[in-house]
Amino acid sequence: MWRQRISTPSHGSRYIDIESDTQFSDAWITLGLLLMFLGLVLQNPFLSASAFALFLVALTGWLWNTLSLFGLHYERNLSEIRAFRGETINLVLTVRNQKILPLTWLSIVDRFPVELPVNASKVMVNTTTNLGEFHTFWMPGAFQRLQRPFQIECSERGFYTFGPAVVSTGDGFGLFSRRATLMERQQLIVYPHLYSAADLHLPPKNPFGAQGTRGHLFQDPLRTVGIRAWQPADSLHHVHWKATARQQQLLSRAFEPSAEAQVLIFLNVATLVRHWHGYIPELLERVVSVAASLASLTAEQRLPVGLIANGALPNSDQPIRLLPGRSPDQLLHILELLAAVTNFATAPIEEILLREAPRAPWGATLVIVTAIAHDALLAALLDLAGAGRRVVLFTLAAEPPKDLLPGIMVYHLPHLVNDLLAPTLVQNDSD
């Protein structure tokens, strides 16, 4: 909940850009003096009373306007500061006038994100600033508290800011007005929608295949610690040929055991083969949701999970890179990164995959989530699988990969994007 007290600058104000406006001018003073002079000269009580009333109204209006911001509170209360796409959260706006002086009018223009509808209606866009504005009008009486409930539809993932708010009020005669900008802001994070294992057509346990028992160690061929006698279960790629020639017996390299099983998710934000040609917004959202869902399923199995994406954060041109970890906040960090990721592809996903995969522990499962399965990406996956890496591909492409991918587990998920594909004519009524 955000609470802000409005006070005058002489009492340590928290708002800036105070502006005063008035319909009162020197002409009013001139008119009042003229009426008073004529009333005294002509001994006309009506003219004297009119001058006195004019000065009284002007003085009352000025004092009313001066005191209008004292004891005035504006509160913005969001029921949640984190939500998932598709959810609805509650918003309560509260105005409290803690003084004996009533306010006949109070206008508040609060900056709201344009992407999130309020009460099923769009937020107005200021054509000058191109920012969303939410207008409310209030009439708080003396020592009165007013509340208005609203609902915000979290229809788009992302990081959203509410505020600052511009408060305008003044006297009841309409002669003077004051405007103040409240610089306090509040943030709302909308995470991607999460699919269940059933939605992804995955088994509830071991969605990436058997991972071995807890604590199982994997041999890392990048870390050779010695040689030993060759065994039938060893790959011929691990034979140490020079030592075999010297010892006149078949010897195999001994590798250092690597860390336990991990899952490293690679997200491709490109929805077209040539990412500079543009992107398909809703298809990107589905891909991001699949990546978030897989991260959640992995965390549920208590496996370290990380995320690497060729998408960038707002105002950044660097790819997202979060290595697998067991921190209790690891999944939260991944969801926040996926909430903020943009459609800007920093590099082709196959380049990032070939650069980052060798740095990953040998026991890590490399999970690639992409809307497209083009030849360059498939070739990179085959290279990694041929090197002994465990690779799992999740694709939302309209068609599955045409060629067989030995050593690679492939999940084709067209059912998640069927509503995005153009319908095709199966049978004509005239046939």
> Tens digits of per-residue pLDDT, 60-114?
778 888 888 888 999 999 999 999 999 999 999 999 999 999 999 999 999 999 9
| pLDDT at residue number 431 | 42
Contact 254, 295 (CB under 8 A): no
**Angle CA(178)–CA(180)–CA(185) in degrees, nearest 5?**
160
Contact 368, 268 (CB under 8 A): yes
| pLDDT at residue number 391 | 94
Phi, psi of 185 (to 5 degrees): -125, 160
Q: How many CB atoms lie within 10 A of CB 150?
A: 14
**Lowest mean pLDDT across 174-178, 208-212, 294-298:** 208-212
* Rounded Cα gap, residues 69 and 167, in angstroms: 9
Confidence of residue 410 (pLDDT cuts 50, 70, 90): very high
Whether 361 shows a pLDDT value over 70: the answer reads: yes
Highest mean pLDDT among 4-8, 19-23, 292-296: 292-296
Give the DSSP H/E element, type plus range, for residue 288: helix 281-300
Q: Are strands 251-257 and 176-182 parallel, antiparallel or unpaired?
A: unpaired
Q: Across the chain, how many H-helices and E-strands are there?
A: 7, 21
| pLDDT at residue number 212 | 45
Whether 226 shows a pLDDT value over 60: the answer reads: yes
Contact 216, 56 (CB under 8 A): no
Q: What is the mean pLDDT of residues 308-314?
A: 90
Average pLDDT, the chain: 82
| pLDDT at residue number 37 | 64
Whether 193 shows a pLDDT value over 90: the answer reads: yes
- What is the distance, to the nearest Å, from the Cα of residue 284 to the centroid of all Cα atoms in its chain? 14
Phi, psi of 369 (to 5 degrees): -115, 120
| pLDDT at residue number 1 | 37
**Lowest mean pLDDT across 147-151, 160-164, 423-427:** 423-427
Q: In 3-state terms, the chain is what percent helix, strand and coil (to 5)?
A: 25, 35, 40
Say which residue the tokens 């969303």 belong to. Answer: 132
Confidence of residue 404 (pLDDT cuts 50, 70, 90): confident
Can you read off the two tokens belonging to residue 407?
Answer: 């050593």
- What is the distance, to the nearest Å, from the Cα of residue 366 to the centroid of all Cα atoms in its chain? 25
Secondary structure (H, E, C), 193-235? CCCCCCCCCCCCCCCCCCCCCCCCCCEEEEEEEEEEECCCCCC
Nearest CA among 160, 158, 224, 163 for reference residue 192: 158
| pLDDT at residue number 274 | 79
Whether 228 shows a pLDDT value over 60: the answer reads: yes
| pLDDT at residue number 20 | 61
Q: What is the mean pLDDT of residues 391-400?
A: 90
Q: How many CB atoms lie within 10 A of CB 166?
A: 18
- Find all residues with CB under 8 Å of 14, minimum gap 6, and list them: 4, 5, 6, 7, 182, 183, 184
Peptide bond into 164 cis (omega under 30): yes
